[in-house]
Structure 1
Amino acid sequence: MIRSGTPWFDTDGNRIHAHGGSVIEVDGTFYWYGENKERSTPGSGIWHWGVRCYSSRDLVNWEDRGLIIPPDQNDPESPLHPEQLLDRPHIIFNPRTEKYVCWIKVMTKGSIQRSTVLTADSILGPYEIVRTWLRPLDMSAGDFDLVVDPHDGKAYYYFERVHSEMICADLTSDFTDVTGYYSTHFPQPQPPFVREAPAYFTRNRLHYLLTSGTTGYYPNPSEAAVARSYHGPFDVLGDLHPSDESRTSFHSQISSVFRHPGKKDLYIAVADRWLPGYLDHGARAHQAFIEHFAPGRDSDEPMEEFAHVDTSIADYVWLPIRFDGDRPVIEWRDEWSPDEFEDA
């Protein structure tokens, strides 16, 4: 059974570390990968310890496949150094080059966020860096998602233009850069109203983007939007967790949406519960961030609330998405199984 909001362990009994992650299916096996936070304890100075991957045949039992992108411990200037603020790896397969392409964002001081791109012949690596410190479209590029059209093989890159708006950019044919063609969506004046953590999926020829507000590790109300093309325009549908009275997306932040290829209409929202110890503080945290980003305040000044954030004990929330017509809705379930859903 899938049990959200509790510690998840691999088949060896170790806590799973695949944060800000995604699931990709290859030849009947599911691969769940993400940020390895096992050493990211308060005061350690370690933001990440590479990108870790797990494999499963049933989405319930996960085998640790190790670090598919290990940290670079020797070069402090490398984007893969453990002290670099590496986040949210996303991997897509390029049918033309037959390469797996991984994009990673790296935050730096002054709200500048840049990208590193790696490629591999196998989902499990080894991955080789092909671009570092990339500023797509000469923009500071934050949280993002990658999409490959299953019909023509063209790829798209949805990213938060930091503290501003959401961008949809066409990728080059090798998926390692942007072409220069892009569209803009959901402009906002400042955090916490700016949308981040885009998670894309398509259903019934409609294109969906799930996003969250910009409140750091604290959760906030999610938002769904829908369009008839990759570049929109998008119609905002509102919070897709309407039954959550705390207004914190069940105290989680969605990192990706995975469509189960073997089930009929099963879409799974993959989310992180970054602060499992702050379950009763959602409303207070949201207000704190509104005040934190108030005009005239230095938004780079650290907040006291984050002094003791321990991402090494962050949990996960995996929930199925149901649809009211074309509107996605996520409801809490203590436990559930993919076997409950009809085979495709």
Structure 2
Amino acid sequence: MIAQRFFKIISPVLLACVAFFSVQMNAANKSFYPGKQWPDDKGVHVNAHGGGMLYYQGKYYWFGEFKSETTSSALVGVTCYSSSDLYNWKNKGIAMKVSDDEKSDITKGCIIERPKVIYNKKTNKFVMWFHLEMKGQGYAAARVGVAVSNQVTGPYKFVRSFRSNPGIYAANMTDEQKNMSLDVKNYEKWWTPEWYKAVSDGLFTKRDLKEGQMSRDMTIFVDDNGKAYHIYSSEENLTLQIAELTDDYLGHSGKYIRIFPGGHNEAPSIFKKDGTYWMITSGCTGWDPNEARMFSAKNIWGPWEKHSNPCVGEDAKLTFHSQSTYIQKVEGKKDAYIFMADRWTPKHPIEASYIWLPILFENGKPVLKWYDQWNLNVFK
């Protein structure tokens, strides 16, 4: 009898607690919590790493790498999430699946990184670009992959993978550089003044001229006039290249430039404000974080100017223990941009968290400050 009376008293309390926590778990997010687990509509941590964003018909679509428990190889594909407010995300499933065909470039076990989706108003197609490495070849392939869909959430059909602009020299290489005789066999010792000079003159551009330029960490940028650009780490991750896309966004037009040869930049992210292009990148230290770099230009084709690290405060020299992946404009707010980055956990890739921070401006330059919690009201 005592036990029954105790149960009658305690059970309503338990039910109330369960109800309270259920409401809390299902409550809509109204803030960003950088570095924390980010549950989707099913309560599962968002799995869209190295991601990019597309705003289409009033919604944001977040595309990213589906990470597994113990490997960063692609065992599933590219995921897609949707949101109307940037805080709360609905899992829309796998936008592009890896293939079970061992002969496919995107066979299960390959490496798919930094997927970016853009919409082509002329063809009404959604086009996905991503960094691709062949299964079992490490990072030797250094290719870019392209897939296309009639629907924003997919499924995306893989079109092809390739190296960038084979047989074409960069538009900002001089005739003297094009005619130089440079052979990598003569520069086996890296980081010497002679080697730096050779890299600047196009040592690796020439090496890869026939096959095409290497393309690893990348992003896609669509300008105000609809022109789209592929920005990627090339030449053994030593030099950034910016390549114009064809009007259908399915390939390169043949025009590209090299910027900061030998600078060792990767993880490019870019946005445009008041006619100035701003690019934030990272150094090349594998999965370990490093100090962010920032560049600007009045024209996409340069010249590009280098600035100091945009991060300020504690852990600024480690980009708050993260690496840039994308910069998203907040629709409906003036001069509002979000810096998107990943805090990698290579031993357990699926647990990697996201560092989203507002881009603020001081003395006309972008600044990144740490917030444990913030919302879009920070943009005034």
Aligned to 1:109: 138
Q: How does 1:141-220 map to 2 (within 5 A)?
A: 141-151=215-225, 153-161=226-234, 162-188=236-262, 194-220=264-290
Q: CA deviation at 1:322?
A: 0.5
Q: How does 1:129-144 map to 2 (within 5 A)?
A: 129-137=158-166, 138-144=212-218
Aligned to 1:221: 291
Structure of higher CA gyration radius: 2
Q: Secondary structure at the match of 1:142?
A: coil
Aligned to 1:98: 124
Q: Secondary structure at the match of 2:76?
A: coil
Amino acid paired to 2:312: P
Residues 254 and 340 (structure 1), Cα distance of their counterparts in 2 relative to 1, 3 Å cut: same
CA RMSD, 1 decimal: 1.7
8 A Cα contact 1:217 1:274, kept in partner: yes
8 A Cα contact 1:223 1:237, kept in partner: yes
Q: CA deviation at 1:22?
A: 1.3
Moved more, 117-126 or 128-137: 128-137
1:312 aligns with 2:350: yes
Higher helix share: 2
Matches of 2:97 and 2:223 in 1, distance apart? 29
Matches of 1:263 and 1:48 in 2, distance apart? 38
1:49 aligns with 2:76: yes
Unaligned runs of 5+ in 1: 276-307
8 A Cα contact 1:136 1:177, kept in partner: no
Matches of 2:279 and 2:54 in 1, distance apart? 18
Q: How does 1:1-344 map to 2 (within 5 A)?
A: 1-37=31-67, 40-42=68-70, 46-72=73-99, 74-107=100-133, 108-109=137-138, 111-137=140-166, 138-151=212-225, 153-161=226-234, 162-188=236-262, 194-245=264-315, 247-275=317-345, 309-342=347-380
Moved more, 127-136 or 263-272: 127-136
Amino acid paired to 2:231: Y
Q: CA deviation at 1:48?
A: 4.2
Amino acid paired to 2:106: L
Matches of 2:316 and 2:227 in 1, distance apart? 39
Amino acid paired to 2:113: D
Moved more, 126-135 or 234-243: 126-135
Task: Note the alpha carbon deviations across 1:94-140, whole angstroms, 9 max, x for none.
Answer: 11111111111112436331111111112111212222244444011
Identity %: 33
Higher strand share: 1
Matches of 2:59 and 2:126 in 1, distance apart? 16
TM-score after normalising by structure 1? 0.83
Amino acid paired to 1:80: I
8 A Cα contact 1:237 1:327, kept in partner: no
Q: CA deviation at 1:340?
A: 4.1
Matches of 2:153 and 2:51 in 1, distance apart? 15
Residues 321 and 110 (structure 1), Cα distance of their counterparts in 2 relative to 1, 3 Å cut: closer
Task: Note the alpha carbon deviations across 1:1-38, whole angstroms, 9 max, x for none.
Answer: 1000111110110111010001211111111110011x
8 A Cα contact 2:94 2:155, kept in partner: no
Residues 204 and 45 (structure 1), Cα distance of their counterparts in 2 relative to 1, 3 Å cut: closer
Task: Note the alpha carbon deviations across 1:65-116, whole angstroms, 9 max, x for none.
Answer: 00011121x2123232231011110111111111111111112436331111
Amino acid paired to 1:116: G
Amino acid paired to 1:4: P
Matches of 2:274 and 2:165 in 1, distance apart? 30
Matches of 2:108 and 2:38 in 1, distance apart? 23
Matches of 2:106 and 2:219 in 1, distance apart? 19
Unaligned runs of 5+ in 2: 1-30, 167-211
Task: Note the alpha carbon deviations across 1:191-234, whole angstroms, 9 max, x for none.
Answer: xx510011010001001111000111111000110000111111
Residues 182 and 46 (structure 1), Cα distance of their counterparts in 2 relative to 1, 3 Å cut: closer
TM-score after normalising by structure 2? 0.76
